Structures are given as C-alpha cells and as structure tokens.
Amino acid sequence: MGQPGHASNINYPFLTGGGEMGALIRSIDWSANPLGEPSGWSPALQQTVSMMLTTSFPVLICWGENYIQLYNDAFRPINGETKHPQAMGGSAKATYAEIWEQIGPMFQSVMQGQTVGFPNFMVPLDRNGYLEDCYFDFSYSPIRDSKGVTGGILVICVETTEKVKAISQAEQAQAAVASQRDRLTSFFMQAPAGVCILDGPQLVYELVNPAYQELLPGRKLLGRPIFEALPELVATPLQEVLLNVYNTGAPFEINELLIPVAEYEGGPTQNRYFSFTYQARRDVNNKIDGILVFVFEVTAMKNVQEDLREAREQSDQQKRVYEAISSGTPDLMYVFDLDYRFTYANNALLSMWGKTEENAIGKGLLENGYEPWHAEMHEREIDQIKNTKQPIRGEVSFPHAILGKRVYDYILTPVFNELSEVAAVAGITRDVSERKQLEETLANSSEELQAINEEMATTNEEMAASNEELTATNEELAFVNQQLLEAQQKIEESETALRLAIEAANFGTWFIHSETREFITDARLKELFGYYPDEALSIEQALAQITEEYRGYVANKLENAIYRNGDYDVTYPVIGLHDNQLRWLRAVGNLKADPSGAFSAFTGMVMDITEQKQDEMRKNDFIGMVSHELKTPLTSLTAIVQVANQKLKSNEDSFLAGAMEKAGVQVKRMSNMINGFLNVSRLESAKLVIEKREFNLEDLIEETIKETELTVSSHVIKFEPCNPVMIKADHDKIGSVITNLISNAIKYSPKGKEIDIKCEIIGDRAQVSVKDEGMGLKPQDKDRVFERYYRVETNGTQHISGFGIGLYLSAEIIHRHDGEIWVDSESGVGSTFHFSLPLH
C-alpha cells in the first residue's frame, strides 16, 4: 500500500500539475501498491489520470479489481477528514464500506462495460466522523484500454446536498404558508366573531365570514365597497376611523359602541352595541392594502348587564329598607344559610359579638364565638326547619361577656324560595334576662312570705287554743296575716305588670386613644347623647350631657380607667343635646394596650337602660313602700311578743313559753328581712345614708357575736380577741355587715361546725374575716354572690331561705366606706368572707 511521504523523484510527463492531489500522487511510493510504478500504468490509466489532474470537476478513478483510487483536488472535500488521505492509492471497497452495498453492484456493472449515472443520488457517507445524508449528481463510466478492455471506472461526481436541502426547506416553507393560510381562512370562516377583510383604498369586502354576515342579514356585502354596502356609516365617526386605519396603519379598538343599524338596506335602524377591532393588512412589501375587521355584537350582554344593574339596585334598596328596620331594634336579627353560616346579622348582634359585618358574615356559629353545645343546638334546629318547614321558638341561657348570665327568647323561621323549599332560616332573639330575674325574685319573695304566713298561722292557732290571754295578740297576728296576704297579692299583681317590662339593649360603642384622647364613637352612641349621627362628639361634650350630680363621678371614673387602668362600669343619667330627653345609660369599658406599646385603647359600650332603670326605680319604690307598711304592725307585734315572753317566763306552762319564744325568733327574722328590703330600696334610691362616728371595731364584733348566740346554739362561734381597733364608720351598718356574714356562715354550714371570726390590722386597714366549714362556693359563684338577688342554686341551697340581698347590701356598705369585701372559698370545704376598712 503506497503512503505519502516516500518522496519519489521520478518525473512522469503525465503526472505534472494537478494541485495538491497531483503532488500527493507523485510523492507516494508506488512500488508497494498493487497499481505499481506509474511508469507501468496502462496508457488508458495514464491518459485518464492526466485528464483528471487538469479538470476542475470532481473526478475519482478506481482501477483494477480492487478499485485502487486516485482523485483530484475537486474531489478531495467529498472524502472529508475521515477518508482522506488513506483513500488515495487505497481500495474503494474499504473507503466506501458504509455504502458499498449501494455502489458495489454499480461498479461491477461498469466493469462489464456499462455506464451508470443518477442525479441527486443520496448516500449516507461517513466523511467527518459521523453518517450524513449526502446527495450527488454522478456518472460512472468504464475506462477502456486500446484493446477495448475495461480496466477501471471514471467517477465524475458533483455534490448537490446543499441544493437539495435548500429545495426541501423551500418546499416545507411553502407548505407551511399554504396550511397557515388555510387555517386562517377556516378560522375566519368559523370564528364566532364577525370577521371581514376590506380590500384596497375603496375598502371593498373581500372576505366576509358567516358570523359577520349574520350581523347584517340580507345585506349584500362581498365585492362591494363598505360605504356603498352600509351607507348608514357614511359621515359617522366610524368612516373617519376606517380611513385613518387604512392611511396610517394604526390599529383601532372600541368596546360596546352604540350603532343604530338596519337589518336590510333602507330598513328601520335598531340600537345595537358592538365591540370592534380594525387592523391594517399589509402586502409583501409591507404596504397597507386592506383592513382586517373583527366585530362582536354585545347587545345581548349589554341588556343582561342593564337587567343585572336594575336587579341589583332593587335588591340594594330592599336591603336598605330591611337594614333600616333591623338596625334600629335591640333584638338580635340574623339569617342562616342551610350550611349554618350567617348570611346576615344586624347591628345589635354584631355589637354583641364585638365583630364587624366583614369578619362575621359567611362564618358559622362556632367561628362567631358560640359554644359547641349552643352551635349544635341551632344547627339541629336549622335541619329541623329545613325538614318540617315549620318555625321553632325557644329559650336559651348563656353567659354574656359583660352582662353575666342572660336569658334569651328566640324564634327561627324558614325563608322559602320560589319552589317553596326552605332556602334560609331567619331568626330574632330577644334578651329577656331582666324579666326572668324579676319573675324569679318575686316568686321567691312570695314563697318566703307564704311560708312565714303559714308558720305564723300555726303559731297563732296554738296560742289561741291554749291561752285566752293571747286572744288580743291573736287578733293582732290575724291582722298581720291579712296584711301579709294583701302584700302578697300586691306583689303578684305587680309581677304581672313587671312581666310586661321587656327592656332593650341597644349598644353604642366608643374608642379612646389614651395619648391623643381621640374619641371615636358610633352613630348609636351619639344618638344616646342626643347628637346627630354626623355631628362630631368629643369626650368633654359627652360629659356635658351627663346630669350635674353624676358628671364629676363619671369623669373621675373615666380618667381613672384610662390612666390608672381602673374598672369602668358606670350608670348615669344623660339629657340628650337636641332631643332634651332623659336617658339612663350604663357604660362598660375596657383598657387594652396597643400592640405597639405606644398607647392604650380604651374601648367599650353604652347601653340605654332607661326602661330598666325606671322599672327598677318603680320596683324599689314598691318594695320600699311595702316594707315600710309592714314595719309599723311588725313593731307593735315585736313589742307584744316581748311583753308576752316576759310574762310567760314565770308561767309553768312550758308549751306556751316555748311557743312564744318561737314567735319571738320568727318576728325577729321577719324584721331583719324587712329591714333588708328597706335598705335595698334606700340604697337604690340613693337614700342610704352613712353616718360615721368613731368606735372600737373589736367591741362591735363581740356585741354582734353575743346577740347571735342568744338565738343560735347550733354552731360553735370562736373569736380571737385582737387589740382595740378604732375606726370611723357607720356603727350600725358595719354591725349589720358582720351580722350578715355570721348568719350566712351559720346558714350555709352544717350544725355543730365551727365558725372562726378574726380581726387584724394589715397595713393601714382593719380586716375582719368570718370563716366557716360549710358548703363553700364554686369559682364561678365567688364574685357573683355580691350581686343583687344572686343566689347559688344547688340541691344544698334550695331549702335555705334567703333573697340574695345580704351580701349585696354588705358590699355596698363596705364600698361606701372605701373598703373592700371578698371571699376565699373552696367548694365542699368552706368559705372565708373578708372585709377591710381604712383606719383613717
């Protein structure tokens, strides 16, 4: 095999020139090659090589049965980097192994004298390290010697790969353009929007799709200039717009344009709404040659929008009407959807929750702060209403954050849709706590009086039967009985009257910035102070409406609450600015530090309790009057019983003596009770007068204990005497506080238990404690026992008589002395009631 590099200096006349390949051929050591020294090459071969080296066509010669190859400069690129230079002087079978299956048979037939040739013939050649599809125009011709015998093949071969590729790319591009055009046309024709193409400066309808034609049924458009086909456009702004698009190429878009159009030429016009876009169409030279029009008719949509707007307006108006109704009522009004979510809540309900419409509507019961049992109850009721289509009425009681335990009366009603199915559930809830409480108190007091009555009657009978001397007393007692019965009847009558007093809770709310004293209030609060909702209201202006006797007190409380975190629950009368009306208001406030720490927000609400207050005043007057009336006969009864007692002491009839002693105890009990009521009534009408004088607290305690021990022997009362403690206070009233604490300790602990009374000085205060080993109090009752009429309702207490006023009165008395009263207690273990009074 000949290799380049063996420089051969032999000079062959037919091997001159021929560029790089000529030089390569000459430099090969041919002696080792099957072709042999060029001098020995056949004349036909020599001749052909000489021709090959002079032509600029790519030529390859394959000689002999191994097809030894020789090629020229023009052929060199066809062999690429992979095949050159080994191909030179080597066998074509080896060089073209990857395509030999294709070209081998052709070579054979050429060797048998034929000529073979094809244009753009494709072969996968590896000439640069990978297979590539290459195209050639080629011809294979036999090289014959002088005797006509074929010794080799002359290959003339022009590569056409680039040309073929370019052609195929052009074909593909053409096909793509055609299909795009087809798609566009079919898109135009099927588009739900009206599409048309206006051609040339005359804007002739060149294409009109069915949707466009449908907008103008019966109008001939195709092939006609637009202003001829639609003369109603002439001299309208649209004409100008169209011409401008054609002249400048600036696209134009307009929405919901009102155009009066006639369905047929010359027909009546109708108001129709269209949205348009106009776009210039350009030819190959980018010159504008038409306009592409897209049109949507939006008349139907416009009409629907209009209907919708009207419907909305109507429903808004309706809503405003309902809101006006529901926002003015103290009742809680709301609507649930069937998934138990609130779709409406009136102002009263929102302010009870302390929420706004935004964060309450769409929420369920739990999310709005209902306890699980309560939420489940209403959910069950909503289901029931859905199934039965019947309204439900009920009563529910639960603790209110500010007002304590409340009782509510509510009605849930189905709301039907046009198919008479339940679509929602509407409800109204009314706070009936005050009414309930009054009912209960009155029921209690009449029971108590009834019981006393009965006892008196029995005692009466006993005495009448045993001693004539007591007839007079009997009569007196009968008279008292009669009076008691009358009182009871009066109480019953007033109960009916009071039942009707259902008061309202319609809150106003406020916010005070502790630094700036900015005062933000709602309309209801302004209204409560007699201001119009849009008027500004400052703290000072609000205070000015409070009656003079309360103003200083409220102002102090307020300052104390804002700047010293004092408690704020005040009741005061207000004279409205514009309406001059007297209203009793109860304000409850709460100080909260702002998260930034820079200021505090003092917020709260004001309720109109005028009705309640008036009821209360009427009731107090009534109780005061009844108590006062009862006091006179009771005083004479007490005197008579005392005299009788005295007389009977030396009598040998022990039954009579015992009965009279019992009568004495009952009369005492009754007068304590009546005094209690009298004090409540005085307190409430601000007639409870505190008369201070200096006395020794220790002495008072001892006296009180002695007095108690006269009538009670069931308990062991212990008192650790302390040093004399001088205080300046109302002697009798503090005495009644101590009496009350001791008698409670006796009432609420079993017989035989110990009662410890202590008196000590702690700092600048004197503190008295009464400890018992009785039933004790649950944590939730501890603070509430000081409320008026509050009694703990358990099996253990239901047989113990009382009105729930003793501790209330005690607390009021202590507070009026700037003292404090409180209880430490554990249920089932015992209680210790304490009060403290300032020493100076």
CB 156 within 8 A of CB 59: yes
What is the rounded distance in angstroms from the CA atom of residue 719 to the CA atom of residue 724?
14
Give CA separation, 445 vs 408, 481, 489, in Å: 24, 15, 12
Question: To the nearest whole angstrom, how small is the minimum distance from the Cβ of residue 408 to ligand ADP?
Answer: 24
Kindly tell me which of 730 and 772 has the beta carbon lying closer to ligand ADP: 772
Beta carbon of residue 672, minimum distance to ligand ADP (angstroms, whole number): 10
CA dist 205 to 225, 229, 768, Å? 6, 9, 109
If the CB atoms of residues 444 and 481 are measured against ligand ADP, the closer one turns out to be 444
| CA separation for the pair 4, 13 (Å, rounded) | 20
Residue number of the CB atom closest to ligand ADP: 802
Q: Assign residue 823 a region (left: φ > 0; alpha: ψ between -120 and 50; beta: otherwise).
A: beta
Task: Tell whether omega for the bond before 142 is within 30 degrees of 0, i.e. cis.
Answer: no
Rounded CA-CA distance 713/755 in Å is: 12
The DSSP element (H or E) to which 345 belongs, if any, is strand 342-345
| Residue closer to ligand ADP, measured from CB, 433 or 445 | 445
What order do you get walking across the sheet with 507-513 strand by strand?
519-521, 507-513, 600-608, 582-593, 568-575
* Euclidean distance between CA atoms 215 and 620, whole angstroms: 84
Q: Which is nearer to ligand ADP, 431 or 772 (CB)?
A: 772
What's the rounded Cα separation, in Å, for the pair 71 and 56? 11
> In the complex, what is the shortest distance from the CB of residue 831 to ligand ADP, in angstroms, rounded to a whole number?
4
Closest to ligand ADP by CB, 386 or 753: 753
Question: Which is closer to ligand ADP, CB of 88 or CB of 745?
Answer: 745
* Strand boundaries in 160-239, DSSP class E: 194-199, 204-208
Question: Judged by CB, which is closer to ligand ADP: 467, or 743?
Answer: 743
CA distances from 336 to 11, 245, 388, 482, 646 (A): 115, 57, 16, 55, 73
The CB-of-803 to ligand ADP minimum distance in angstroms stands at 5
Q: Closest Cα to residue 329, out of 96, 146, 502, 156?
A: 502
CB 824 to ligand ADP: min, Å: 11
Closest to ligand ADP by CB, 28 vs 792, is 792
3-class DSSP assignment, residue 590: strand
Residues 157 and 135: their CA atoms lie apart, in Å, by: 10
Q: Is the Cβ of residue 44 or residue 449 nearer to ligand ADP in the bound state? A: 449
CB of 809 to ligand ADP, least distance (A): 8
Nearest approach, Cβ of residue 705 and ligand ADP (Å): 16
Q: Please, which residue, 544 or 800, has the CB nearer to ligand ADP?
A: 800
8-state DSSP, 612? H
Strands (DSSP E) found in 449-599: 507-513, 519-521, 568-575, 582-593
Closest distance of CB 453 from ligand ADP, Å: 19
Nearest to 681 by CA among 730, 627, 630: 627
Cβ proximity to ligand ADP: between 644 and 821 the closer is: 821
108: left (phi > 0), else alpha (psi -120 to 50), else beta? alpha
> Whole-number minimum distance, CB 777 to ligand ADP, in Å?
5
Residue 100 or 803 having the CB closest to ligand ADP = 803
CB closer to ligand ADP out of 463 and 777:
777
- Looking at residue 210, its amino acid is P
8 A C-beta contact, residue 464 and residue 474: yes
Three-state SS at 749: coil
What stretch of H or E contains 143?
Answer: strand 131-144
C-alpha–C-alpha distance, residues 749 and 756, integer Å: 12
Cβ(440)–Cβ(405) below 8 Å:
no
* Least distance in angstroms from the C-beta of 740 to ligand ADP: 6
**Is 701 strand, coil or helix?**
helix
- Token pair, residue 558, equals 């307020």
Identify whether the C-beta of residue 27 lies closer than 8 Å to the C-beta of residue 8. yes
Smallest separation, CB 326 to ligand ADP (Å): 39
In the complex with ligand ADP, the residue whose CB is nearer, 526 or 771, is 771
Residue 724: C-alpha distances to residues 404, 708, 755, 814, 826 (Å) = 41, 21, 21, 20, 31
Of 256 and 781, nearer to ligand ADP (C-beta) is 781
For the chain, what is the largest distance between any 2 Cα atoms, rounded to a whole number of angstroms?
Answer: 186
| Cα-to-chain-centroid distance, residue 469 | 82
For residue 822, the minimal CB distance to ligand ADP (Å) is: 12
User: Among residues 499 and 669, whose Cβ is nearest to ligand ADP?
Assistant: 669
- Closest approach, Cβ 499 to ligand ADP, in A, equals 23
Q: Which is nearer to ligand ADP, 600 or 797 (CB)?
A: 797
Find where tokens 């939420």 sit. 375
Task: Please give the Cα distance from 56 to 158 (Å, whole number).
Answer: 11
Three-state SS string across 22-90, please? HHHHHHCCHHHCCCCCHHHCCHHHHHHHHHHHHCCCCEEEEECCCCEEEECCCCHHHHHHHHCCCCCCC
What is the binding site for ligand ADP (CB under 6 A)?
740, 744-745, 747-748, 772, 774-777, 785, 791-792, 797, 802-808, 831
